[in-house]
Each structure stands twice: as structure tokens, then as C-alpha cells.
Amino acid sequence: MKKLIALALALAMLFALTACGGSSDDSSSESTTSDSAETGDIGTTTEDGTRVLRVGCMESGGGFNPTGDNQSTIGNNLVYDRIVQRLADGTYECLLCESYEWTDSTTLVFYLKDNVYFSDGDQLTGEDVIYSFYIQSLGVQSTYYACVDFDNCYVSDDGLTVTFKFFDEYGPFEAMLDTPQIVNKSAVENLSSDDESWWDSPIGSGPYEVVENVSGSHATYRLRDDYWDDTFEAQWDEIIVNYYTEATAMFIAFENGELDLVCSVGANDAARLESGSTSLGDKAAYEFVNTNNVYCLALSSTREEFQDEKVREAIAHCIDVDGLGQVAFGSLYNSSDSVLSSTCNYYVSTGTYEYDVEYAKQCMAESGYPDGFTVNVVGINSTEAEAMWEVIQAGLSEIGITMNLETYELGTALVMWMEEDTTDLMLMSVNGGNPMCEPYLCLSMTMDGTVFPSSVIRDDEYQEHFAAAVYTSDTEQRAEEWEWIQTWLYENYQAIPMVEPLSCYAYNTDVISYCEFNTGESPNLRFCYAAD
């Protein structure tokens, strides 16, 4: 079971990796925007008293099936509740439950609130909770739930106590609790994945319902007047999310007052925000949000040359990490000092490798391969990934290593990565950020059992510590193990950290007082607060 989970996690990370690109692209292209302006002026209260918020994002829109491939992340955050929710400071608070506890290392119990109702009037029960986690195990995030023994999960007679059972003690699961959106089992269990109701009339227990959903244009959400949580202080009666295909066009709409909040601001406009040179001046507040993610360069353990520590050390010192960040992300990155991001659980600063080509050349001279060699790389043809590979390629050439790069669409690349000796280097990352802040997401490709042989670290001691970090719920032990792993990787030059990508948000302070962003993925607009 442990090996199956490790294998599945690595596969999930690679599926996520492929969509890296687009959010920081300021190149010109035709934009798509909403023209549904009839609800009133931007950021103002309409004549009938409706408080409207308009948002711009770099998405094409989607439906509201939480397990679907094409879904509206922003919309799901409004329509559905989670059993617990992660706050901007990294802590968790109960939302649909009064409390939860581990009764032993493989048993997690939730005590649900008794006043939660879906938008169709049905009361939420433990059956809905188990079902919502179960369908995640069948969908695109199936790997994250392979640890749950669903056949032995059960609900109390009153429906309000839910007991989850696990095959193994599994530390990361608690951080995953705010991932599944809770659906009404009786309403959706017989729906096909492409049923129209997923698109325009989803049933959730969240504070908003869908009014209109137009692909490639916009989605409109209205505050429910029967939302169960009377402690929720609603800021907006209506939220309109406008979809854009080009970041510059979106930001122009923001500067023109057509949008109150914009997500995934492009690098050029982010730089203008930093310098205060936008037309909105000091009315334009902005925030760079860490995506809890790191790009690392993995060296194939099947290449004989990489068994030489001096070769690995040379590679660690020949890559211009800041140049790589600038080329791929503009100002939307931080340099990395660990294989985990600075916002990740159990992060430890292990240090950085100095960019020193002369020292790298010296390391190669001292290695068993002073004349260099040739490596073959299979990559994904995304803008950001190709930019990073170009910088890596240039650095390697300085120390006599010739890199042959071939890029492919995701499906082709995946098949090739699963074969032995098809790629000598791999970029490890989790696209869209790591909202769970769990280190296993960043490093699962190095674990024994992965389907990608080029990224596995074939060191028995490393694998023992990795398994110990994952298959325990003891937080002190996990901290010790993850510190050992980060230090070992740094000292052995086995996974070379490069940059932490950032996401930039901007909002108009005439309309919004502040927003809480807990990940660079998509904002939870429940935490977007109106100006007085």
C-alpha cells in the first residue's frame, strides 16, 4: 500500500506540472472579457442596494464538478464548503464540523455541526462527507486519497459523527482536509460528469449560488439568503468573475475601473505596481503571494556520470538561478534556499548554491568526467518550462555538458518519462501552487515506487527517512525527518532548488479594504473585504 501511494502521488504531481505557464505572459493576444455590465457601476452599490464585486482572472471558466478536469476554482470556493478551511496564516479552522480528533494513528473522527444545509434544503450528514472524499479518490486527485480505507469508514446513527479509517498511519492527510468540497450525495451521486447541472446549477452548502456561467466570458454568483452560517459576514451580494486570455488586457480593464480585483497579474504589470506607476496610483494595492512551490532540478540516478558527487556539485554551481527566474517569471519569483518553499510545512533553510562557473569547472576537472558528456532531456513545451531549460542548458555548456532538449505535449512526455533512461534531467514542481503546504507533493517523485525512474533517488537511507516522514502522524517526528531530507539533498546535490514562483494580485482600495490570499492558486473571495 505504501508503495502504491508513493507511485500515485508522483504521477499526480507530474500531471499538475504540465500547466506551468501563461499567468505571467504579457504577450499580446485577443482577450476575452465579460460584457455583462448591466448590474451597475464597478465596485459600487446599485440602485436596488446590491453590492457588486467584479473580478478578473486568467481562466477560461469551467463547471462546478469538484472532481472534474475543467472546473471553476474560484467558483467552487463560493458554492461549496469544506469540512475545515485553511486560513492565510496557515492555520485551520473548523467549518462544517464542531471539531475533529485522531482517536488512534489510523482513525480520524469528525463531529459535524447540526445546522448545515445545502442550497436545495437538504441537511448535511456524514454520508455526504465520506462520499465527497470518496469521489475525490476516483477523480483527477485520486492519488491524494489512496490512503483512506473507504470500505471501513462509517457514520453514526444520527449522521453527525464521521469516522475515517486509513490503511496506514499517514501524516499528510490532515493538511489535505480543506481540499475536498463537500457535495450533497443524494443530489449528485447519479449525475454523469458532464451533466448540465454541474455547469449552471450546482448544489452546495456555500454562501453563494450560480446565477449565470458563460464559458470564456464570465460567471455571476449571488449571495444565498438562506446560508446556514449566521456568523459569515457577507461583503458582496453579487460577484462577477470575468475570464481573460491575456494578462495585459485584464490589467488595462483594472486600470480603467472595470474590475475591482485581478488575479495572476503579468510580470510587466506587477513591476508597474511595485514602482507605483499605474494610472490608479496609490489606489492600486497589490500582493505577491507565494505559491508554496519550488522548481527543483532532479538528476537521473540511472546516469553513471551523476553518481560522481563532483559532477553533481558542478551542476549545482553552474546554473544562474536569478537569471533563470528573471527569464521565466520576471519579478514573480523568489530564489530558493531549500527543496521546499519557505511557506511549506517543515521548511528548513539549508542554504543556496553560489553561481560560480569557475568553481563548477574546477569540480568537473576533479571529477571522473573532466571533458564533460552529453545529456538528453525530455521536457514539456510550456513557455516557462522552456525558458528555464534554456538557462540550464547554457549553464551546463559552460562546464562541458551538452544538453539535447526535446519538448512535447503532456501526453507524449508522460509516456516517455515512464520509460527507463529517456530523460537525464527533470524539473520537479506542482503547478497551481501547493495549497496544502505538504512537502510530499514537492518531493514524491524522488520516492521509491514512483512511475518515473529518472527522478527516484536510489539511496536506501534517503528512502527510509522519506517513508518515515510520510507514514507517521507524529508532527515532531515529521519535522525531524523532513529536516534530515532537506539537509541531505542539499549536501548531496541530488535535487537542486532554483526558484519559488509567485502570483500577483491587485485590487482597488476604493472598493476593497484588503484581501487574504493563502495560496497563489485562486483566491477565496469569502476573504475579500469591502472598503468602508
Average pLDDT across the chain, whole number: 87
Half-sphere exposure of 478 (CA within 13 A, CB side): 20
What pLDDT, in 10s, does the model give residues 440-498? 888 888 988 777 888 899 999 999 999 999 888 888 999 999 999 999 999 999 999 99
How many whole angstroms separate alpha carbon 347 and alpha carbon 340? 6
Q: What is the pLDDT of residue 87?
A: 74
Q: What is the pLDDT of residue 20?
A: 36
Q: What is the pLDDT of residue 44?
A: 59
What pLDDT, in 10s, does the model give residues 5-35? 554 455 445 444 443 333 444 433 333 444 4
96-130 per-residue burial string, b: 16 or more CB within 10 A, e: under 16: bbeebeeeeebebbbbbbeebebbeebbbbbbbbb
Task: Give the closest residue to 160 by CA, choosing from 86, 100, 82.
Answer: 100
**How many other C-beta atoms lie within 10 A of the C-beta of residue 406?**
14
**How many other C-beta atoms lie within 10 A of the C-beta of residue 62?**
21
366 CB-near residues (< 8 Å, 6+ apart) = 310
What percentage of the chain carries pLDDT values higher than 90?
64
Q: What angle do CA 111, 113, 114 make, to 5 degrees?
A: 120
Instruction: Determine which of 5-19, 176-190, 355-369 has the lowest per-residue pLDDT on average.
Output: 5-19
Task: Give the closest residue to 424 by CA, choosing from 294, 315, 301, 316.
Answer: 301
How many whole angstroms separate alpha carbon 162 and alpha carbon 164? 7
pTM of the model: 0.86
Half-sphere exposure of 463 (CA within 13 A, CB side): 14
Report CA-CA distances (Å) from 101 to 130, 147, 161.
16, 17, 11
What cell does 270 get? Answer: 506587477
Q: What is the pLDDT of residue 364?
A: 97
